[in-house]
Amino acid sequence: MTQEKSIQNIPTLVAIIMDGNGRWAKMRGKARPEGHIAGVESVRKVIKAAVAEGIKFLTLYTFSTENWGRPQEEVDAIMELFCRSVIAETPELKKEGVRIRIMGDRIAFSKKVNAYIDRIESDTAEGEALTVVLAMNYSSRYELTATTKDIARMVADGTIKVEEITSEFISQHLYSKDYPDPDLIIRSGGEYRLSNFLMWQAAYSELYFTPTLWPDFDKESLREALEAYAGRQRRFGLVK
Ligand code: IPE
Ligand code: IPE
Ligand code: MG
Protein backbone atom coordinates (compact mmCIF):
# COMPACT_ATOMS: atom_id res chain seq x y z
CA MET A 1 0.00 0.00 0.00
CA THR A 2 1.34 3.40 -0.89
CA GLN A 3 1.63 6.03 1.81
CA GLU A 4 -0.71 8.93 1.12
CA LYS A 5 1.12 12.16 0.44
CA SER A 6 0.55 14.74 3.14
CA ILE A 7 -1.02 18.03 2.11
CA GLN A 8 0.85 21.28 2.62
CA ASN A 9 -0.92 24.14 4.37
CA ILE A 10 -3.45 22.29 6.51
CA PRO A 11 -6.11 24.65 7.92
CA THR A 12 -6.16 25.10 11.70
CA LEU A 13 -9.95 25.21 11.92
CA VAL A 14 -12.25 23.47 9.46
CA ALA A 15 -15.98 24.06 9.86
CA ILE A 16 -18.54 21.83 8.15
CA ILE A 17 -22.19 22.40 7.34
CA MET A 18 -23.24 18.75 7.30
CA ASP A 19 -26.20 18.93 4.91
CA GLY A 20 -28.06 16.34 2.85
CA ASN A 21 -29.10 13.66 5.34
CA GLY A 22 -32.80 13.97 4.53
CA ARG A 23 -32.29 13.75 0.77
CA TRP A 24 -29.96 10.79 1.19
CA ALA A 25 -32.71 8.95 3.10
CA LYS A 26 -35.42 9.96 0.63
CA MET A 27 -33.41 8.64 -2.32
CA ARG A 28 -33.39 5.27 -0.58
CA GLY A 29 -37.06 5.31 0.32
CA LYS A 30 -36.21 5.66 4.00
CA ALA A 31 -37.50 8.03 6.67
CA ARG A 32 -35.41 11.19 7.29
CA PRO A 33 -34.03 10.03 10.66
CA GLU A 34 -32.31 7.16 8.80
CA GLY A 35 -30.32 9.81 6.99
CA HIS A 36 -29.21 11.30 10.30
CA ILE A 37 -28.16 7.87 11.54
CA ALA A 38 -26.06 7.42 8.39
CA GLY A 39 -24.73 10.94 8.92
CA VAL A 40 -23.21 9.92 12.28
CA GLU A 41 -21.05 7.40 10.39
CA SER A 42 -19.69 10.25 8.30
CA VAL A 43 -18.98 12.25 11.45
CA ARG A 44 -16.98 9.33 12.80
CA LYS A 45 -14.98 8.96 9.55
CA VAL A 46 -14.33 12.68 9.22
CA ILE A 47 -13.15 13.04 12.83
CA LYS A 48 -10.70 10.19 12.33
CA ALA A 49 -9.49 11.69 9.05
CA ALA A 50 -9.16 15.16 10.61
CA VAL A 51 -6.89 13.74 13.31
CA ALA A 52 -4.79 11.99 10.64
CA GLU A 53 -4.51 15.19 8.57
CA GLY A 54 -3.36 17.22 11.57
CA ILE A 55 -6.36 19.56 11.77
CA LYS A 56 -6.57 21.06 15.28
CA PHE A 57 -10.21 22.27 15.34
CA LEU A 58 -13.26 20.85 13.59
CA THR A 59 -16.55 22.72 14.02
CA LEU A 60 -19.60 20.73 12.95
CA TYR A 61 -22.98 22.35 12.34
CA THR A 62 -25.07 19.70 14.05
CA PHE A 63 -28.41 21.37 14.81
CA SER A 64 -29.40 24.95 14.04
CA THR A 65 -31.71 27.15 16.08
CA GLU A 66 -34.09 27.01 13.10
CA ASN A 67 -34.03 23.19 13.01
CA TRP A 68 -36.38 23.14 16.06
CA GLY A 69 -39.10 24.00 13.53
CA ARG A 70 -38.85 20.57 11.86
CA PRO A 71 -41.46 17.87 12.58
CA GLN A 72 -41.29 16.90 16.27
CA GLU A 73 -40.56 13.29 15.32
CA GLU A 74 -37.42 14.28 13.47
CA VAL A 75 -36.25 16.63 16.24
CA ASP A 76 -36.77 13.87 18.84
CA ALA A 77 -34.90 11.38 16.66
CA ILE A 78 -31.92 13.75 16.32
CA MET A 79 -31.78 14.38 20.10
CA GLU A 80 -32.02 10.66 20.81
CA LEU A 81 -29.31 9.95 18.25
CA PHE A 82 -27.04 12.49 19.93
CA CYS A 83 -27.47 10.75 23.31
CA ARG A 84 -26.87 7.30 21.83
CA SER A 85 -23.81 8.50 19.94
CA VAL A 86 -22.31 9.95 23.13
CA ILE A 87 -22.33 6.48 24.67
CA ALA A 88 -21.22 4.65 21.53
CA GLU A 89 -18.44 7.01 20.43
CA THR A 90 -16.79 8.15 23.67
CA PRO A 91 -14.25 5.29 23.97
CA GLU A 92 -12.95 5.78 20.40
CA LEU A 93 -12.86 9.57 20.79
CA LYS A 94 -10.76 9.24 23.94
CA LYS A 95 -8.44 6.80 22.20
CA GLU A 96 -7.96 9.24 19.31
CA GLY A 97 -7.27 12.18 21.66
CA VAL A 98 -10.41 14.05 20.60
CA ARG A 99 -11.94 16.68 22.86
CA ILE A 100 -15.65 17.40 22.28
CA ARG A 101 -17.13 20.81 23.07
CA ILE A 102 -20.69 22.01 22.49
CA MET A 103 -21.33 25.51 21.11
CA GLY A 104 -24.80 27.05 21.33
CA ASP A 105 -27.45 27.93 23.87
CA ARG A 106 -28.12 24.91 26.08
CA ILE A 107 -31.25 26.30 27.65
CA ALA A 108 -33.45 24.77 24.95
CA PHE A 109 -32.22 21.20 25.47
CA SER A 110 -33.95 18.71 27.73
CA LYS A 111 -32.38 17.73 31.05
CA LYS A 112 -31.38 14.43 29.48
CA VAL A 113 -29.61 16.00 26.50
CA ASN A 114 -27.85 18.44 28.82
CA ALA A 115 -26.66 15.54 30.96
CA TYR A 116 -25.17 13.86 27.86
CA ILE A 117 -23.52 17.12 26.85
CA ASP A 118 -21.90 17.40 30.30
CA ARG A 119 -20.89 13.78 30.10
CA ILE A 120 -19.13 13.90 26.74
CA GLU A 121 -17.44 17.22 27.51
CA SER A 122 -16.01 15.95 30.77
CA ASP A 123 -15.13 12.46 29.49
CA THR A 124 -13.14 13.89 26.56
CA ALA A 125 -11.73 16.98 28.29
CA GLU A 126 -8.15 15.68 28.17
CA GLY A 127 -8.12 15.20 24.37
CA GLU A 128 -5.23 17.10 22.80
CA ALA A 129 -5.06 15.93 19.18
CA LEU A 130 -8.27 17.55 17.89
CA THR A 131 -11.03 19.72 19.35
CA VAL A 132 -14.43 18.97 17.80
CA VAL A 133 -16.94 21.75 18.37
CA LEU A 134 -20.54 20.63 17.89
CA ALA A 135 -22.69 23.64 17.03
CA MET A 136 -26.03 22.68 18.59
CA ASN A 137 -28.95 25.04 18.98
CA TYR A 138 -26.55 27.39 17.28
CA SER A 139 -27.26 30.15 14.82
CA SER A 140 -25.17 33.16 14.01
CA ARG A 141 -27.91 35.75 14.50
CA TYR A 142 -28.86 34.20 17.84
CA GLU A 143 -25.20 34.27 18.91
CA LEU A 144 -24.72 37.89 17.78
CA THR A 145 -27.92 38.95 19.54
CA ALA A 146 -26.83 37.29 22.79
CA THR A 147 -23.37 38.86 22.54
CA THR A 148 -24.84 42.30 21.80
CA LYS A 149 -26.99 42.05 24.94
CA ASP A 150 -23.97 40.97 27.04
CA ILE A 151 -21.87 43.87 25.80
CA ALA A 152 -24.74 46.36 26.22
CA ARG A 153 -25.06 45.25 29.87
CA MET A 154 -21.30 45.76 30.39
CA VAL A 155 -21.61 49.31 29.09
CA ALA A 156 -24.76 50.00 31.10
CA ASP A 157 -23.21 48.85 34.39
CA GLY A 158 -19.93 50.67 33.69
CA THR A 159 -17.70 47.57 33.30
CA ILE A 160 -16.49 48.85 29.93
CA LYS A 161 -16.56 52.08 27.92
CA VAL A 162 -18.13 52.17 24.44
CA GLU A 163 -14.64 52.90 23.03
CA GLU A 164 -13.45 49.51 24.26
CA ILE A 165 -15.78 47.69 21.86
CA THR A 166 -13.45 46.60 19.08
CA SER A 167 -13.88 43.73 16.64
CA GLU A 168 -11.46 41.68 18.79
CA PHE A 169 -13.60 42.44 21.83
CA ILE A 170 -16.71 41.21 20.01
CA SER A 171 -14.88 38.02 18.90
CA GLN A 172 -13.89 37.42 22.51
CA HIS A 173 -17.53 37.51 23.61
CA LEU A 174 -19.06 35.21 21.01
CA TYR A 175 -19.88 31.55 21.73
CA SER A 176 -16.80 30.76 19.62
CA LYS A 177 -14.44 32.83 21.81
CA ASP A 178 -12.21 29.84 22.63
CA TYR A 179 -11.55 28.94 18.98
CA PRO A 180 -9.88 30.59 16.00
CA ASP A 181 -11.91 31.74 12.99
CA PRO A 182 -12.49 29.03 10.39
CA ASP A 183 -9.85 28.84 7.68
CA LEU A 184 -12.08 26.61 5.60
CA ILE A 185 -15.85 26.13 5.61
CA ILE A 186 -17.16 23.06 3.80
CA ARG A 187 -20.82 22.55 2.92
CA SER A 188 -22.03 19.18 1.72
CA GLY A 189 -25.41 18.58 0.06
CA GLY A 190 -25.15 20.94 -2.90
CA GLU A 191 -26.56 24.19 -1.48
CA TYR A 192 -24.58 27.43 -1.77
CA ARG A 193 -25.40 29.18 1.48
CA LEU A 194 -24.27 29.56 5.09
CA SER A 195 -27.71 29.00 6.69
CA ASN A 196 -26.94 31.22 9.68
CA PHE A 197 -23.60 29.57 10.46
CA LEU A 198 -20.55 31.49 11.76
CA MET A 199 -21.39 34.66 9.84
CA TRP A 200 -19.04 36.88 11.86
CA GLN A 201 -16.26 34.30 12.02
CA ALA A 202 -16.47 33.53 8.27
CA ALA A 203 -15.31 37.04 7.25
CA TYR A 204 -12.14 35.67 5.60
CA SER A 205 -12.86 31.94 5.49
CA GLU A 206 -12.35 29.99 2.30
CA LEU A 207 -15.61 28.38 1.20
CA TYR A 208 -15.91 24.93 -0.38
CA PHE A 209 -19.18 23.47 -1.63
CA THR A 210 -19.71 19.90 -2.72
CA PRO A 211 -22.84 18.15 -4.06
CA THR A 212 -21.93 15.04 -2.03
CA LEU A 213 -24.69 14.36 0.49
CA TRP A 214 -23.41 14.21 4.06
CA PRO A 215 -23.90 10.44 4.57
CA ASP A 216 -21.69 9.88 1.49
CA PHE A 217 -18.98 12.28 2.70
CA ASP A 218 -15.82 10.41 3.72
CA LYS A 219 -12.10 10.85 4.18
CA GLU A 220 -11.52 11.25 0.43
CA SER A 221 -14.15 14.00 0.35
CA LEU A 222 -12.29 15.77 3.18
CA ARG A 223 -9.02 15.34 1.33
CA GLU A 224 -10.47 16.89 -1.85
CA ALA A 225 -11.60 19.90 0.19
CA LEU A 226 -8.18 20.23 1.83
CA GLU A 227 -6.48 20.02 -1.56
CA ALA A 228 -8.74 22.76 -2.91
CA TYR A 229 -7.92 24.87 0.15
CA ALA A 230 -4.18 24.32 -0.30
CA GLY A 231 -4.47 25.82 -3.80
CA ARG A 232 -6.22 28.98 -2.63
CA GLN A 233 -4.46 32.28 -2.11
CA ARG A 234 -5.74 34.18 0.91
CA ARG A 235 -5.14 37.90 0.72
CA PHE A 236 -7.15 39.35 3.65
CA GLY A 237 -7.68 42.52 1.65
CA LEU A 238 -3.98 43.09 1.04
CA VAL A 239 -1.82 43.04 -2.08
CA LYS A 240 0.20 39.88 -2.58
C1 IPE B 1 -28.52 18.14 7.72
O2 IPE B 1 -29.26 17.38 6.82
C3 IPE B 1 -28.72 17.70 9.15
C4 IPE B 1 -29.48 18.62 9.99
C5 IPE B 1 -29.92 19.79 9.61
C6 IPE B 1 -29.77 18.20 11.35
P7 IPE B 1 -30.76 17.74 6.45
O8 IPE B 1 -31.67 17.04 7.39
O9 IPE B 1 -30.94 19.21 6.37
O10 IPE B 1 -30.85 17.09 5.02
P11 IPE B 1 -31.61 17.67 3.74
O12 IPE B 1 -31.05 19.03 3.48
O13 IPE B 1 -33.07 17.70 4.10
O14 IPE B 1 -31.29 16.70 2.67
C1 IPE C 1 -27.99 23.74 7.99
O2 IPE C 1 -28.73 22.91 7.19
C3 IPE C 1 -28.02 23.25 9.42
C4 IPE C 1 -27.24 22.05 9.69
C5 IPE C 1 -26.50 21.42 8.83
C6 IPE C 1 -27.27 21.59 11.07
P7 IPE C 1 -30.28 23.18 6.88
O8 IPE C 1 -30.74 22.05 6.06
O9 IPE C 1 -30.99 23.42 8.15
O10 IPE C 1 -30.22 24.54 6.07
P11 IPE C 1 -31.22 25.09 4.95
O12 IPE C 1 -32.61 24.98 5.50
O13 IPE C 1 -31.04 24.24 3.74
O14 IPE C 1 -30.78 26.49 4.69
MG1 MG D 1 -30.73 20.52 4.82
Whether 3 shows a pLDDT value over 80: the answer reads no
**What CATH homologous superfamily does 13-139+180-230 map to?**
Decaprenyl diphosphate synthase-like (3.40.1180.10)
Residue 156 burial (10 A CB sphere; 0-12, 13-18, 19+) = exposed
CA proximity to 13, closest of 119, 123, 167, 135: 135
Ramachandran quadrant class, 192 (left: phi over 0; alpha: psi -120 to 50; beta: rest): beta
Pocket of ligand 1 (CB under 6 A): 18-23, 63, 67, 78, 189, 214
* 196 classed as catalytic: no
Distance, in Å, from the CA atom of 198 to the CA atom of 125, rounded to the nearest integer, reads 24
Distance from residue 13's CA to the centre of ligand 2 (Å): 20
Q: Which of 9, 19, 150, 216 is catalytic?
A: 19
Residue 101: pLDDT band by 50, 70, 90 thresholds? Answer: very high
Residue 206 in this model has a pLDDT that exceeds 80: yes
The band of 240, judged by pLDDT with boundaries at 50, 70 and 90, is: confident
Q: How confident is the model at residue 6 (pLDDT cuts 50, 70, 90)?
A: confident
Any residues with Cβ below 6 Å from ligand 2, and which?
Answer: 17-19, 61-64, 67, 191, 193, 195
pTM, to two decimals: 0.97
Q: What is the pLDDT at residue 5?
A: 79
Ligand 3 centre distance from Cα of residue 20 (Å): 5
Q: Quote the CA–CA distance of 167 and 178 in Å, as a whole number.
A: 15
